[in-house]
Amino acid sequence: MAITAGDPAEARTGPFPAAFREMPPLLPPFLWPDSDKPETPDSEIPKHRYRSIWISDIHLGTRGANAELLLSFLKHTESEQLYLVGDIVDGWALKRSWYWQQSHNDVVQKILRKARKGTRVVYIPGNHDEALRPYAGLAFGDVAIEREVIHVTADGRRFLVFHGDEFDGVMQYAKWLAHLGDMAYMLSLHLNTLVNRGRRRLGMPYWSLSAYLKHKVKNAVAFIASFENLIIAEARRRGMDGVICGHIHHAEIRDMDGITYANDGDWVESCTALVEDFSGALRIIRWAEEMPSGRTGSKAGTPVMATV
């Protein structure tokens, strides 16, 4: 069921599902009632304010998650609405082997604090955190869980927001192949980590090996084009002005026959977010380019933004 941003009706609330505590191999204590552990003061960090922010494909619970960069982004930005557009926690990876760093906890706690302080936070589960999909329509703490939402921009445009795996043929018809591909992808991310460790020692900025390889492979480029066309067709069928999604780890904004397609990217390769300013304009922020030294919080200038 889609909800519309700004509707007076609040998301249904319910008791915190005990099933979460019974599934430690699948989910970390992500939506458990969070602690009031004091946060490192960041009041002196310049804040960039937006009407709405979309982030997805963080893959917390994997070595590929750039949690430190994301935490820096969250500390430097404020918004009225924050959309978590799926694959926030990687349940697939956590079922294979447990990996959960303090930085992953810090990201979770930062998001929950934003929700407590008044930011409207909506979590739209993806395929890697699909265990949360049965709880769509509920709110845990101050975080609403939905399968999809309709977002109305400041200039009145209506955007359908979902993760996007529903339009991935491999996910729908050969899920075993998707899991196999995920393991290969995790290997490429591990190589990506090694490459960037060396680049940091040489004083070079972050660079995504996996994204470079993906965009050089003809089949990957064809898949992205097919995915985008299917998404646009769905937005047109439902009478929307545009669509916002994640899933394919490829940040982009472009007009396709009168329908705006926006993908917020990811936080394992490109470290990107989609933002809406107070006039309704959408932009992509490429946060890794804001800190060329590779140290989170090392630079506090204006974020690098690109309209594609």
What DSSP assignment string belongs to 71-119?
HHHHHHEEEEEEEE-S-SB-HHHHHHS----HHHHHHHHHHHHHHHTT-
Q: Which helix (H) or strand (E) holds 170?
A: helix 169-173
Task: Return the closest-CA partner of residue 263 out of 233, 284, 238.
Answer: 284
Contact call for residues 228 and 168 (beta carbons, < 8 A): no
| pLDDT-wise least confident of 10-19, 39-48, 229-238 | 10-19
Q: Which amino acid, one-letter code, is at 117?
A: K
More confident residue, 115 or 2: 115
User: Positive or negative CA dihedral for 25, 17, 90, 45?
Assistant: negative
Residue range 62-71, pLDDT digits in tens: 988 999 999 9
User: Looking at the DSSP assignment, which residues form a beta bridge with residue 158?
Assistant: 152
Residue range 151-201, pLDDT digits in tens: 999 999 999 999 998 876 434 433 433 444 455 555 556 666 666 677 677
CATH of span 45-306 = 3.60.21.10
User: Looking at the DSSP assignment, which residues form a beta bridge with residue 263?
Assistant: 245, 252
Contact call for residues 12 and 138 (beta carbons, < 8 A): yes
Tell whether pTM > 0.75.
no
CA 204 to chain centre: 25
The secondary structure of residue 82, as a DSSP letter, is: E
Task: Return the closest-CA partner of residue 282 out of 256, 301, 263, 258.
Answer: 263
Q: At what angle do helices 209-216 and 218-237 cross, to 10 degrees?
A: 90
Give the Cα separation of 306 and 308 in Å (integer). 6
Domain ranges in the chain?
Answer: 45-306
- Residue 193's SS3 state is helix
Share the mean pLDDT of the chain: 77
Count of all residues that appear for the chain in the document: 308
Choose the most confident range, by mean pLDDT, from 59-68, 78-87, 180-189, 288-297: 78-87
Q: Residue 62, exposed/middle/buried by CB under 10 A (0-12, 13-18, 19+)? A: buried
